[in-house]
Structures are given as structure tokens and as C-alpha cells.
Structure 1
Amino acid sequence: MTIAFLLTTLVVVVTPGAGVLFTLSAGLTGGHRAALLAAVSGTLATLPHLLAAVTGLAALLHSSALAFDLIKYVGVGYLLWLAVATVRERGAFTVDDHGPAPPAGRIIGSAVAMNLLNPKLTIFFVAFLPQFVEPGSPGALGRMLGLGAVFTATTLVVFVGYGLGAAAVRRRVLDRPRVADWLRRCFAGSFLGLGLLLARAEA
């Protein structure tokens, strides 16, 4: 493991994306419990991408325009649905201190689906990890798995930090309806923007 790998991983994970936005939203709307559920679930959803990269499935998706586009547009559709649901104050995105807490199953399912349907994660593992593994070396597989584990652990720490930070200021948001409305629109616009960016992604 190198400093370059750690720094690059940190930059990639800290940069706000769909997973970060969802974890922030979960913390604001459901508190610490929802934030932790979203963080852990979103992180676990990166593991199938890592396994796909290690077994070669990611390379197949990367080279197959049809398979890539299929996953990509399902992901785009899901992000657009989240944007609409956020604007309409539905699902896990409603900031309401008097209503029931967001169901755990809904939070987990949304967090997992969001990262599973994100082909950029697969591209990341295909294009990023091999740069730090010597091709054909006897321990290449183990090294790639180890680096992937470091990426996953970093993702969990960052997601938990974002989520608990959002949960910590939840009361201030709930006490200011205009702030809550502004944040809801920001989340909706962010999901919309991510969906449009994903639609332009190429294999």
C-alpha cells in the first residue's frame, strides 16, 4: 500500500456522490440510527463491485456497451426517481420530527440499490486498483483484495462521518422549515444532476 493509493482513495471517497448524499439525507431525516444504517449499507454495496473486478466480470461489463448501458440507465432512472421522491417529500427524505422514523428496510434497500446500480464504481475498480498491483505477480489477487478492503473501510469511515455530522445538526434543520425545504430541493437537484452525469458516462 502506498501514500498515493491512500490519498487517491480518500479524495474519491470524500468527494460527494450519490452515496454521500443519501447518507447525509438519512442522517438529517432519521437521526443517528438512519445515518449508520445508510453508511453501512452503502459501504457493503461496494463489495460486489470489487468482487466483479477481481473475477473479471467488471472487465466484461466495461467492454460490453449493451451491458454497461443497461446498468447505467437503470441507475439513472433510480437517481431520477430519488429526485422526484425528494421533491414530493416521500420515502426516507421527508424531514419530519413528528412522523414515524424511516423504516430500516427502506433505508438499507435504497442505500444498497444506489451503489449497486452505479457503474462508475465498477469502472473505478477496473481502472484504479490495477495501477497499484504488479501484473502477473503471484500475490496480485491478494493485493487487489487488500487494496479493495482499504477502499471499503475508508468509505465506511467517511460515510459514517458524514451521516453522524448530518444527524448532529438535525434539530437545527427541523426547527427551521425553510432550511429543511431548501435542503430538500438541494438533495433533489443533486440527485438529478448525478443522474444526468451518469447518463453521459461511457464504458
Structure 2
Amino acid sequence: MFGLSAATIAGYLAAIVVLMVTPGPDMMFVLANAARYGRRAGVVAACGVAVGETVHVAAVVGGLATLVSTSPALFTAIRWAGAAYLVVLGVRALRGAGGPGTADAAGGGRGRSAFLRGVITNLLNPKMILFSVAFLPQFVDPAGGDVTVQLVLLGALFVAVQLAVDIALGVGAGRLAERMTDGRWSRRINRICAVAFVALGIRLAAG
């Protein structure tokens, strides 16, 4: 299909699954939003992350990602910006109430905020840049047809699978938060995600 064999696609999907079982900023962000504001906010956050991933894929196709990854100064700037953003998210989550959200809280301004922060969280993740540059091309077969078409297909598959996983996570965590009316579960998940954000930010800053 589009120059990619069934075996290549199967191996690619298997590799994606392995990558997704490792928690990262995107997964923590979706989980934190769902636990605090409900399943709708989790889904909106997942959509924001997917948009960020789409930008990364487009950058690979356009060659921009390669330029960023080969420029130490630019890559370091993005790494530090991403680290600072994660720490800020963690501190804000720790200072928040952490209670389950209402339908109104999940919509309107909360929804727009979750979407935009999801986009930013993904775009400022330098690991996504490295993934885009180093991972996607490994599954391209130059002899199999148009390389650009293959990259677009591989990127679309990744975004689709990631979106499905994040939405499932957001809906599941949101439902649990809505059932736990006393708010204890939401507060615990919120604190865990907050600490994870800060830890990921410090690790990212340390290189």
C-alpha cells in the first residue's frame, strides 16, 4: 500500500504500541485533564496533542524537523522551553484543587485551554522531533515509491493510533473521576501527574 508492504506496516504498528506503553508528557497531560475536569476535557486534550503530532509529521515531510535536529542551539532552546513548560504545568497542577470537573468546566474556556495546552505540550517535546526524524524514515522504502507519500502515511497512522489511545485513556479516567464524587481519586491522580510533569521537565532539562 503506497509503497509499504503489509509486513512493514505491521512492524511499524508494533513499534508504535511499544512506544505508547511508556508514559510521557502527552499521556500525563491527557490523564491530568480527564481526572480533574472530566472525560470531555480528556478527549479535547487528546485532540490537541494529535494536532501537535500532525505538525511534527508535516515538519518531517517539509524537511524542517531535520533542520531543527541538526541545529544544536535551536534544539537546545526547544528542549529548555519544553522543560520549563512541563515544570510550570506541574506546579500549576499541584496548586490546583484537583477536584472532579463539571460539564461546564470541561467545555467553553476549559476546553479551549486543554486543546491549546495539548498542542503546546506536544510541540515543545523534543523527543517528538527526534522521533519524527529518526523513527519514521526507518520504515520508508525508497524503492517502493514516493517517499513523501510513505512518510505521510506513516505519520497519519501514528497520529491515528495515538489519538485513539489518548481518547480511550481520557474517557476512562474521566468516567472514574465523575464516579468518585468525593474527589479523592481526582486529587491523587492530579498530584501524581503534577509530580510526573515536574520530574519529566527536570529530566528534559538535564538532557
TM-score after normalising by structure 2: 0.87
Cα distance in 2 between the residues matched to 1:155 and 1:142? 20
Cα distance in 2 between the residues matched to 1:113 and 1:72? 13
The residue that corresponds to 1:53 in the other structure is: 60
The residue that corresponds to 1:27 in the other structure is: 34
Cα distance in 1 between the residues matched to 2:166 and 2:191? 21
Cα distance in 2 between the residues matched to 1:116 and 1:15? 18
> Which residue among 101, 121, 136 is the counterpart of 2:105?
101
Q: Is the 8 A contact 1:174 1:180 kept in 2?
A: no
Cα distance in 1 between the residues matched to 2:124 and 2:143? 30
C-alpha displacement of 1:100: 5.5
Q: Is the 8 A contact 1:50 1:122 kept in 2?
A: no
The residue that corresponds to 1:165 in the other structure is: 172
Cα distance in 2 between the residues matched to 1:141 and 1:105? 32
The residue that corresponds to 2:187 in the other structure is: 181
Cα distance in 2 between the residues matched to 1:173 and 1:112? 29
5+ unaligned residues in a row in structure 1: which ranges?
A: none
Cα distance in 2 between the residues matched to 1:33 and 1:142? 33
5+ unaligned residues in a row in structure 2: which ranges?
A: 1-7
Instruction: Describe the shift of the 1:65–1:158 C-alpha distance in structure 2 as closer, same or farther (beyond 3 A).
Output: same
1:192 maps onto 2:198 in alignment? yes
Cα distance in 2 between the residues matched to 1:149 and 1:87? 35
Instruction: Describe the shift of the 1:99–1:160 C-alpha distance in structure 2 as closer, same or farther (beyond 3 A).
Output: closer
Q: Deviations over 1:25-49 (max 9, x none)?
A: 1111221211111111111110111
Q: Letter of the 1:188 partner, please give it.
A: A
Q: Is the 8 A contact 2:100 2:186 kept in 1?
A: no
Cα distance in 2 between the residues matched to 1:65 and 1:135? 28
Deviates more, 1:56-65 or 1:6-15: 6-15
Deviates more, 1:5-14 or 1:76-85: 5-14
Q: Deviations over 1:150-199 (max 9, x none)?
A: 0000011000111011012113444253x443322211110011112222
